[in-house]
Structure formats: C-alpha cells, structure tokens
Structure 1
Amino acid sequence: MSDQPNDAKRTKVLWLTSSYPRNEDDSASIFLRYLAEALVKQDIDLLVLAPDHSEVQPFRQPSGLVCRHFRYFFPRRLQQLAYGSGILPNLRAAPWLYLQVPFFILSMLVAAGWILRSQRPSLIHAHWIFPQGTVAVVLGKLFRIPAIVTAHGSDVFLLKGRFLGVIKRWTVKNCTVWTSNSWATSGAIGADGLLSPHIIPMGINYRHFALDNRKLSVKQTKLILLFVGRLVETKGVAILLKAYALLSDALLDATELWIIGDGKEIERLKALAYECRIQDKVIFFGRLPNNQLPKYYAAADIFVSPSMIEGQGVTFLEALANGVPIICSDVGGVAEIIKHGETGLLVRPNNVDELFEAIYRLITNRELRMKLSKAGKKIARCYDWEYIAKQFLSLYINHLNSAEFRL
C-alpha cells in the first residue's frame, strides 16, 4: 500500500515493448506483466504499448495500468512478426516477415508519439534495446522527456551484425539511463564510451511459486524432470532429450521428462524423442497459463534448462522458489544466480555428456537434491517483484528529479 494519499499526483510512464501478455492466460513476457502490476501499486500510472496480434483479448487490469496495441500489418491474421517463438526465430522460420519489420517500427513510433502528445507521460521506458529502445530515444529527444532502456538478453546476444551493433550502441549512448538484467548482458554490449548500466534483474512473485500445497491431482510414482520455456533451438531442448536418452532403462522407467512450452521446434523435438526411443517417457504439455505453472514446479523433482543463450533466466527463479533443484548451462547471467554445487549444477552449453552426468547425479543423489532445494529457496526470495519494482521506481523518480537529461 502507498503511504501517499489517494489524490496525490502519480507518475505517468509509457512502456514500449515487443511482447506482453495478449490475454488473461497468455505467458508471453509474463514477467513484464508482473513488474507492471507491482509498479502501479507504488504510485505509478503505467501505459503499456505492445504489438497487436490475432490472440489479443482485453482483460481486466489493475487500477493505474492500461495496455494498448499497435497494428503494423493488414490483414490482422498476417501480423506474425512478434510473439510465438520470438521475433528473431519467427524471422528465421519465415523470411517473408522481414517485410513487416519497417511497418512494425514505424507503427510503434507513430502510436507512441500520439500517446506522448495526448497523454503527456513523464518518461518513456523501453524494454529491449532494439527496436523499442531506439524508438524511445528518438521520441525522448523530440518530446524532451527522459528515455530509459532495459536490456533483457536476447537483444544483446542474438541481435548481431555491424549495422545493428551501431544502432544498439547509439541507443545506449543516447538514452537517459539504461538497465540490464545481469552483468553478463551489460558486458556483452561493451563499456567504451557508454553510460554505466543499472543492474536490475527481472523477478518473480515469490509467494505464488513458493506455496507447498499446489501438487497435481494425479498420483505421481516417478521422479519428474521438468523443462519450462520456449521451444526454440537456443533453449537446448534437443540436447536435453539426447542426454535424457542416455539413462539406463531402469532409470528411464523410474523417471519422466515434462516439457512445458511451445514454439517452432516442437514437431522436430517430438520426432527426436521417437528417434531416441524415449517417446513414452517424455510428455509435451504445450503452452500453459502462467498461473498453472506452480503446481507443475511443485510436482517436479529436478528442473533442467540447458540454454545456449540466457540473459538471466526467470524460469530458474520460479523453480528455485518452489524448491526444485536446478541443472542449467553456464551461459550469460546464469552464474549470477546459480552457484555450482550450492544452488544448482552448471554444465557447459551444448554438451550432451556433461548434461547426462549432471542429470544422473541428481537422480541418484537425494541428499544433494535436498541441499540444493533448501539453498535455492533462500536465493529466490531476494527476487520478489515488490523488491524489484522499488528499484525501478527509484530509478524513475531520480531521473525525473534530475535536470541533467541526456537530450
């Protein structure tokens, strides 16, 4: 609850993002929804501008939070650049979508400019450096208001090329202030001539995931390995299937692998499970609403996520909060959360044998699982949204009160 009176003036902020939950049950960039809902509890009026999509269905928002969507292509059903597996995987799967990129950027620029003129927000906060951050910087200069940019990881590790590199560095150099979800993400941009970043990780609703009474109704007789995430190549699910298939017949009979998520790779991964002869040991649940995930985490015994690229890893925090021991790749900012042998097991990315050894170790060592579970819950508590939102609120207020805007 806010200590200020109800009629006190609230700070109005415009968010720009390329992904935001499209309906009540959507999990697309769900972490942004939770951050937004935490911020409006702290005297922020937030207007979120996200891409339109055929699955957008208005749902009830808390007081102070408004979500709008910009159309960037017609007919509406052809707006396929955003959501799903993500913009870059979508472009790789369907190169014709490159035609939509300039319309996407221009439509966002126009829609955001109209909001700035009509709603008069005090600042802009862009999620992901390009294109949202670049658009925010341009509009910040035009309307003479602060522009904050947040790097989430994929915009740094996946957006390659000299041209995009120049744009990203120009954006970071010319914004008012920028944040990064980890030191690894910020370090990938480089520091020469750039503003120093504020390291503010994304968080979780700790209480939501830490409840112990959310067991699934089905009777569980096997040890459950769980993966949660988008089914794209960089998440390493193919590596997980190959490593899991190396277990002995006895251990395969004693375990199940649950895969939650959707994406361009799903059919290939199902075929790989058949090829590895583990199709009856692997369950593909598809995409599930985020509010259903705690019961699956609570049912799991081991969480495995062998990503090849990871800015931070919010699903790791969800698993830790539920006391699930973790195996993950030592990439990006993962090691800033997971300490090998203390709060999880780290393996080299794209290494089937090393991943198999880690899986075997946890399956056969209940004492280690219990140790990692206990330590993980303590770490996850520090990432509750209430705490993370206060850091962003402080950033907003400090730069609104400062007259030294980088315009």
Structure 2
Amino acid sequence: MVLTEKTRNFDGKPPLKVLMVTSSFPRHEGDYFGQFILELAKSLKPNGIEPVVLCPHFPGAARKEVMSGVKVYRFPYFYPYSLQRIAVEGGMFQNIRKSLLAKLQLPLFLAMELVYTIRVVRREKIDLIHTHWIVPQGLIGALSGRLLHRPHILSVHGTDVNIAAKNRVLGWVTRIVTRNSGKILTNSTYTRELFVSIDPSAESKIEVIPMGVDVELFQNPLNGNPKEKSGDPYILYIGRLIDWKGLEYLIDAFAIVSRRIPGAKLIIGGEGPEEEQLKQQVKDLGLNDSVRFVGLIKSSDLSRYYHEAAVFVLPSIQAEGQTEGLGVVLLEAMACGTPVVGSNVGGIPDIIQDEWNGYLVQERSPSELAERIIALLENQTVREQFKENGLQTIYEHFSWRQISTKFTQTYVQLVNL
C-alpha cells in the first residue's frame, strides 16, 4: 500500500514526517556525495511522506536549506568549520582511521549529532527516525527514539556492517541498536547475512530494501544519444577514489585492454585520497594518453557519461573489512543501457547475474577483468543482450517508484504499531 494523501489524511492528520539522519549527503545541488539519500527522500514525497534530513555541516554550507524540495539541517561539530574532518570526501570510517584530528573530533561529532537529532525531532514534530549506518547514526537514532518515544529504523549500507563484523566493540553497539530499532533495512542479501552473523536476534527485524535508481533521469541523456556521436570506445568508472574500490586493478586491466584495442579509453570520475597514487600508476604504465581523470561529475552530467560509455566497470575488492554493499552506480549504468562488469564481492551479485545482464569477475584479477572488457568491446550481440536484460532488471527490481513504496510501507507499519 502506498501512503497517499487520501490514506494518510482521512482523519485530518498531516503527512507522516520522517527524519533521515545520515553522515553522507550532497554538499550542494549536483554533488554526487551521498546522492542516493537525497534521491530516496525525493522519491518518498509523492507517497505522502514529508522527509527531513539531518547531516554534518561542511565549510561554507548553510546550517539549514531546502535541496530539491527536501528540508535539510546541517549540524556543526568543530570550530573553525574549515577544520571539520569527519564527514568529508572519502567516507567517515576512512577519515577517522587516517586522520588524528578526525579521531579527536569524534566525541564532539557524537554529542552534536545527538543534540541536533533531538532538536529537529521536536521542532519539526517528527513521527519516525530513520538513520543510515550503524555508527554513529544508528546509535544516536536508537537513543533519541527511546528518549522521545519515536519509532526508529536503521538502514545499513555495507561498510558499517563489514567493520562491525570485525570489531568487538562495534559488534556490541550493533546489538544495542538492534534492540532499540523497529526495523533493520539492509541494501543487499550479503549485508543481511553479515548483519545476522553479528546479531542473530536481528533476523526477525531485517528486511532487504536496496537503494534505487531514477529510471527517467538516466534514460534521457542531454543532447540526444551521445553513443551515436562518440569516436573511440571508452570504459567508465564513477565513484570514490578509495582503496577498496579496486581501481589499481582496473588500471592494470586497462593496460591489457589497450594493447588489444589501441583506440580504447578509460575515464575515471570521482575524487578521493587515492587519486595521486592512481595517476602515478597510469604514468608508470605509459597510459597518460588514454586514461582521463575527470574529477567529481555533477549529477546533471552523469547520464551523459553513462550513455557515452561502451562499458561500465565496478572493480571493488574486499579490503580491511570494507567492500561494496550494493553498487548503486551499476544500477545507474544499467538504466542507461550500458553493459556492466563488476567484481563478485559484497552485494554486487544482487545486481549482476553473470552472463545474463553483465559479467561478474574475481576480485583483484586484472587478467580476467581485461578479458571480460575485451569480450564486450568486441561483441555487439552480447552488449545488446546485457543492455536489454539490464533494463529489465532495473524496471522489475530497482526503480525508485518500487523502492520508495517498500520504504513507505515499512514506515506506516511502524508508526501504526
């Protein structure tokens, strides 16, 4: 059942108000960082849900704003703001692990997130708290929900569960959060199984609801269909430039591809701490003329990049307790009709059925990755098969319309308990 104005307001009540607490959210319109949280919030509005977002502040940002019709609060956690280090590009866990200043800021971050969660719940008359990632948001949401007598839902996205599975303290925190949450939503079967291994008592509360994709947005590239305008074929990666994305193996694979198909290009879109190291690898391999780092790609330009690409690759690996929880970029590429190749790790197999709508390859294997990329570049029949089956996958399982309905049903169920 979709919560419509009619079903929600028959007794005169306002739309159901949901506070989404997240450490990852776009810093401005067009920013790709945490874009899926914004897309989720937007997709809920037609269902009679009024989403409000609470996320960390960053230098130069307004403390309160409206982004794409969604009300956003940003909480500061250190002064001067320019020294805030926890919730910046690269991811919260990565930043805390690598930065002493981020470690020192963590207690302040936790305190301010709790204070602002309570403040926003009261100010906005929130009906339900929906947090993303176990720590710190899940813990903050569970505590706030108990203090304020609001139902709490936790969404986990992979990285947090991978780390909690290897850390005794975080495992203990996870069990506390579970006991103080009405539902645990995981983004893939992999994440679900890993969560249950940490807390078997959570099994009855868990539901797999992945993030979705805006089908209409990605099927309408700017200026017509760029595939018909492109010259040499290019391979595309979009995402953060961090170690567990496996980009070093993609670059090694591309060196093999370029010897077989001299005109091939590789475009890498995104930012992150591994950028300089990856550029040096490209230089050492003599690939400067065929590999381009294009930086952060605006949301409005994503569709064009996907449509122009001959192949999209997500070469993620298992590294230090982290891996791909789902792989939303694969969904976006499929929605554009672009053939995909992904590593057989984490939640990626929930999206790719090997040799039906894409290729799954062993992680850290440049030779196998290169072989599959070459097979796609040289075989139009397979590319067309993956295109059609990929679109079918999106329409049947991953459109925001379907995904937002599942979230809405879960919200209504908990609020009406």
Q: What TM-score range do you get, normalising by the shorter chain?
A: over 0.9
Could you tell me which residue of structure 1 aligns to residue 411 of structure 2? 396
Between the aligned partners of 2:373 and 2:287, the Cα distance in structure 1 is 16
The SS at the match of 1:211 is coil
The SS at the match of 1:23 is coil
1:293 to partner: Cα distance:
0.4
User: Is the CA contact (8 Å cut-off) linking 2:134 and 2:156 kept in structure 1?
Assistant: yes
Matches within 5 A, 1:257-276: 257-276=266-285
- Please list the CA deviations of residues 91-136 of structure 1 after superposition, one character each: whole Å capped at 9, or x if unmatched: 3332331001111111100111122233331111101111101111
The SS at the match of 2:236 is strand
Could you tell me which residue of structure 1 aligns to residue 171 of structure 2? 165
Could you tell me which residue of structure 1 aligns to residue 320 of structure 2? none
User: Is the CA contact (8 Å cut-off) linking 2:65 and 2:72 kept in structure 1?
Assistant: no
Between the aligned partners of 1:55 and 1:374, the Cα distance in structure 2 is 44
Which runs of 5 or more structure 1 residues have no equivalent in the other structure? 403-407
1:68 to partner: Cα distance:
0.2
1:215 to partner: Cα distance:
4.0
1:59 to partner: Cα distance:
5.8
Between the aligned partners of 2:258 and 2:185, the Cα distance in structure 1 is 46
Between the aligned partners of 2:60 and 2:266, the Cα distance in structure 1 is 29
Which TM-score applies when normalising by structure 1? 0.93
AA in 2 matched with 1:10: P
User: Is the CA contact (8 Å cut-off) linking 1:343 and 1:372 kept in structure 2?
Assistant: yes
Could you tell me which residue of structure 2 aligns to residue 194 of structure 1? 202
Could you tell me which residue of structure 2 aligns to residue 25 of structure 1? 30
Matches within 5 A, 1:365-404: 365-382=379-396, 383-402=398-417
1:13 to partner: Cα distance:
1.4
The SS at the match of 1:26 is coil
1:328 to partner: Cα distance:
0.5
Moved over 3 A (4+): 5-8, 57-63, 212-219
Between the aligned partners of 2:278 and 2:224, the Cα distance in structure 1 is 29
User: Is the CA contact (8 Å cut-off) linking 1:261 and 1:287 kept in structure 2?
Assistant: yes
- Please list the CA deviations of residues 294-320 of structure 1 after superposition, one character each: whole Å capped at 9, or x if unmatched: 001010010011111111110000000
- Please list the CA deviations of residues 252-279 of structure 1 after superposition, one character each: whole Å capped at 9, or x if unmatched: x221001111101111111100111111
Could you tell me which residue of structure 2 aligns to residue 289 of structure 1? 298
Counterparts in 2 of 1:268 and 1:215: CA distance versus 1, 3 Å: farther
Between the aligned partners of 1:92 and 1:360, the Cα distance in structure 2 is 37
Between the aligned partners of 2:132 and 2:103, the Cα distance in structure 1 is 21
1:143 to partner: Cα distance:
1.2
Q: 2:215 aligns with which of 206, 210, 230?
A: 206
* Greater Cα shift, 298-307 or 170-179: 170-179
Count residues with an aligned counterpart: 400
AA in 1 matched with 2:316: S
AA in 2 matched with 1:229: G
Q: 1:111 aligns with which of 98, 104, 116?
A: 116
Between the aligned partners of 2:188 and 2:174, the Cα distance in structure 1 is 17
AA in 1 matched with 2:415: L
The SS at the match of 1:175 is coil
**RMSD between superposed Cα atoms in Å:** 2.0
1:300 and 2:319 matched: no
1:181 and 2:196 matched: no
Could you tell me which residue of structure 2 aligns to residue 245 of structure 1? 255
AA in 2 matched with 1:280: D
User: Is the CA contact (8 Å cut-off) linking 1:93 and 1:264 kept in structure 2?
Assistant: no
Could you tell me which residue of structure 1 aligns to residue 57 of structure 2? 52
Q: 1:324 aligns with which of 338, 341, 344?
A: 338
1:247 to partner: Cα distance:
2.7
Could you tell me which residue of structure 2 aligns to residue 153 of structure 1? 158
* Greater Cα shift, 151-160 or 99-108: 151-160
* Greater Cα shift, 113-122 or 301-310: 113-122
1:180 to partner: Cα distance:
0.6
Q: 1:76 aligns with which of 65, 76, 81?
A: 81
Q: 1:39 aligns with which of 38, 44, 69?
A: 44
User: Is the CA contact (8 Å cut-off) linking 2:227 and 2:307 kept in structure 1?
Assistant: no
User: Is the CA contact (8 Å cut-off) linking 1:340 and 1:346 kept in structure 2?
Assistant: yes
Between the aligned partners of 2:104 and 2:224, the Cα distance in structure 1 is 45
Identity %: 33
Q: 1:11 aligns with which of 16, 23, 33?
A: 16
* Greater Cα shift, 72-81 or 173-182: 173-182
Between the aligned partners of 2:353 and 2:259, the Cα distance in structure 1 is 31
Could you tell me which residue of structure 1 aligns to residue 354 of structure 2? 340
Which TM-score applies when normalising by structure 2? 0.91
The SS at the match of 1:246 is helix
Between the aligned partners of 1:55 and 1:258, the Cα distance in structure 2 is 30
The SS at the match of 2:257 is coil
Q: 1:360 aligns with which of 363, 374, 382?
A: 374
The SS at the match of 1:193 is helix
Between the aligned partners of 1:276 and 1:218, the Cα distance in structure 2 is 31
1:211 to partner: Cα distance:
2.4
Between the aligned partners of 1:272 and 1:67, the Cα distance in structure 2 is 40
User: Is the CA contact (8 Å cut-off) linking 2:258 and 2:264 kept in structure 1?
Assistant: no
User: Is the CA contact (8 Å cut-off) linking 1:51 and 1:70 kept in structure 2?
Assistant: yes
Between the aligned partners of 2:98 and 2:232, the Cα distance in structure 1 is 36
Between the aligned partners of 1:312 and 1:294, the Cα distance in structure 2 is 20
The SS at the match of 1:316 is helix
